[in-house]
Amino acid sequence: MATEQSYIMIKPDGVQRGLVGEIIKRFEQRGYTLRALKLQSVERAQAEKHYADLSSKPFFPALVDYIISGPVVAMVWEGKGVVATGRKIIGATNPLASEPGTIRGDFAIEVGRNVIHGSDTVENAQKEIALWFGESLVDWTPAAKPWIYE
């Protein structure tokens, strides 16, 4: 059975504010496995596809402008429960409602500058990974695996 994967993306504000290392650290130290990582500029069409489910929302144009405003760090993280746990590590959509200790709760104030994206379901994670990485994940087994999983 394939292990669960989540698409995690540091948004342009997170990159500009120098939070890349801090964010990667939180997923890494929890025990999740990095399967893909790239810094990239985002085409408008790609941002619109990624957020297609929100295209009817009033904030959609500003959201797309935000996501294409600078480079993002696109990642795939793998491990048991990584989609739901990743959302907990990230915190609530509106940073004012995010608990301290979460990424948004520690580093953000406004919903339109909330630093990071994480897939909300396993099914959406698979779609997002296909959109951002195609098939190009790195297959490797971390040496620490038996020290993280029983």
Q: Which residues bind Mg ion (CB under 5 A)?
A: 120
| Residue 106 or 120 with smaller CB distance to Mg ion | 120
Treating both helix axes as pointing N-terminal to C-terminal, what angle do 82-90 and 20-30 enclose, rounded to 10 degrees?
140
Structure-block tokens of residue 44: 């408008």
* Residue 149 contacts which entry, Mg ion, ligand UDP, none (Cβ below 5-8 A, type-dependent): none
The verdict on whether residue 59 carries a ligand-binding annotation is yes
Count CB atoms within 10 A of the CB of residue 117. 21
Considering only CA atoms, which of 126, 112, 130, 122 is closest in space to residue 87?
Answer: 122
Shortest separation between residue 91's beta carbon and Mg ion, angstroms? 13
Q: Is 80 annotated as a binding residue?
A: no
Q: Which helix (H) or strand (E) segment is 124 a member of?
A: helix 122-133
Active site residue 50: no
Q: Which amino acid is at 45?
A: A
Which residues ranging from 3 to 62 are in contact with ligand UDP (CB under 6 A)?
54, 59
Report in angstroms how near the CB of residue 147 gets to ligand UDP at its nearest: 31
Q: Establish if 103 lies at the interface with ligand UDP (CB under 6 A).
A: no
Instruction: Provide the 3-class DSSP secondary structure of residue 125.
Output: helix
Tokens matching residue 147 = 């020290």
How far is residue 5's CA from residue 105's CA, in Å, rounded to a whole number? 23
Q: Considering only residues 55-84, where is the footprint of ligand UDP by CB under 6 A?
A: 59, 63
Taking the complex as a whole, the smallest distance from the CB of residue 25 to ligand UDP amounts, in Å, to: 20
Annotated binding site for ATP: 11, 59, 87, 93, 104, 114
Binding-site residue positions: 11, 59, 87, 93, 104, 114
